[in-house]
Structure 1
Amino acid sequence: MTVRHNYDQELEQLRKSLLDMGNAVAGAIEEAVTSLAKQDVDLARKVIEFDDQVDQMEIEIEDKCMLLIARQQPLARDLRIIGTGLKITTDLERMGDHAYDIAKITLSMVNQPLIKPLVDIPRMAQMAQKMLKDSLEAYITLDISLAEQVCLSDDEVDNIYHQVFRELLTYMMEDPRTITQATQLIFVARYLERIADHATNIAEWTIYLVTGQRRRKK
């Protein structure tokens, strides 16, 4: 077995580790929003406890990247593969943090009747999760078209966020008793908007990996 073959296997393992981390984070996001909608304390606590595992995944992937750089001294495209791996794991870890933040809000709102049925927030969560899964698929398959579609989807998530913000602001103006919960829900929407931004980052890093060119979509 050649040195190059071993190296290619290590690079493939790096990509698999990123995919595993991404899938785990996507699950945490879904569970966090579900815990909020259903006021499920146990599920929220599960998401909070899982955050340590996400942090550990980040550390392990960073260690793999640093070892590859130290041992192989990669150049050109190989270096881009490792460099984008480092960037993507940071985005994934921050998404995990936002799932944690949403779960914490669930705990702070326990036993409080929701001031409105949650419609747009779960829709934002579904869109952000799809963007994450599509960005990871683009990264694994090196699909630039799919990566560009993820970038375009970010505008729609932004639009929903602004709609949620305006609606909740109206609730606060009409009834000051809703201010605390409405503010918390605005934070949830903001966290989901940021998750979509991180998914966009992954798509942009994929474009860079394939083309060697940095292209910012917004």
Structure 2
Amino acid sequence: MARTDYQQQLEQLRTNVVEMSDAVSRRLQRALEAYERKDDALAAEVIAGDDEINRRYLELERACIELLALQQPVASDLRFVAASFKIITDLERIGDLAVNLGEYTRRAERDRYPDVDIARVGAETVAMVEDATRAYADGDAAATRAIAARDDEIDERLERASRTVVRNLVETEPDDVDAVLEDVSRMLLTIRDIERVGDHAVNVAARTLYMVDDDDGLIY
């Protein structure tokens, strides 16, 4: 294969990874909107759309494998393909977390916890995914460390939210204990899944730093 064609394949992979991330971010944002508005129809749309994300993932996985097997890239090209392979896995998992939010939308009672601002912190994790993807697209190593620092702040806020939910459970005497316990469980799962979105955004940033600078300092 001509060198020009090989470089075009690498650039196409970069473009396709960014497009997959854009699709995942839109899906996650819509899941959060459905959760906030208690919109079962929108939640169902998010859940049904997971097939598209899975399709994109499998196509990109195949493209990465073919580049590794047929082109045997070295040095920076090898890091780029390897990082892209790992990043699409994180993106696919963010898509799964969006599906989870869609499922919670159908059952959770959000009015019980007005102090837990899922919409706001969720939007911040969407922004982290978008910024991590931009760093990948631009090869911006400096941006990757800032994303990791933002995740620490998100984790602290979500930890406080978890404590608020548990404290509410301890301090109230509901008429329907089973219903409240079920709602608490779903809220805690929601908090956990949003935290995981942030973790996956950090993973994208970490792989980008490795790709650009051969630096594995953010990989964990």
TM-score tier after normalising by the smaller chain length: over 0.9
Structure 1: how far apart are the matches of 2:116 and 2:187? 12
Residues 1:149 and 2:146 aligned together: yes
Q: Could you tell me how far 1:182 is from its partner in structure 2? A: 2.1
Structure 2: how far apart are the matches of 1:217 and 1:12? 24
Q: Could you tell me how far 1:113 is from its partner in structure 2? A: 6.4
CA contact (8 A) 1:32 1:47 kept: yes
Structure 2: how far apart are the matches of 1:140 and 1:162? 31
SS in 2 for 1:114: helix
Superposition map of 1:27-106 within 5 A: 27-106=26-105
- Matched AA of 2:136: Y
Q: Matched residue pairs, number?
A: 215
Q: Could you tell me how far 1:217 is from its partner in structure 2? A: 6.8
Residues 1:209 and 2:208 aligned together: no
CA contact (8 A) 1:207 1:213 kept: yes
Residues 1:169 and 2:171 aligned together: no
Give the corresponding residue for 1:21.
20
The 1:141/1:83 distance shift into structure 2, 3 A limit, reads: same
Query: What 5-or-longer segments of structure 2 have no aligned partner?
Result: none
Structure 2: how far apart are the matches of 1:120 and 1:106? 15
The 1:188/1:148 distance shift into structure 2, 3 A limit, reads: same
Aligned mate of 2:202, from 178, 200, 203: 200
Give the corresponding residue for 1:107.
106
CA contact (8 A) 1:151 1:217 kept: no
Q: Could you tell me how far 1:127 is from its partner in structure 2? A: 1.1
Q: Could you tell me how far 1:108 is from its partner in structure 2? A: 2.3
**TM-score of the two chains, using structure 2 as the length reference:** 0.93
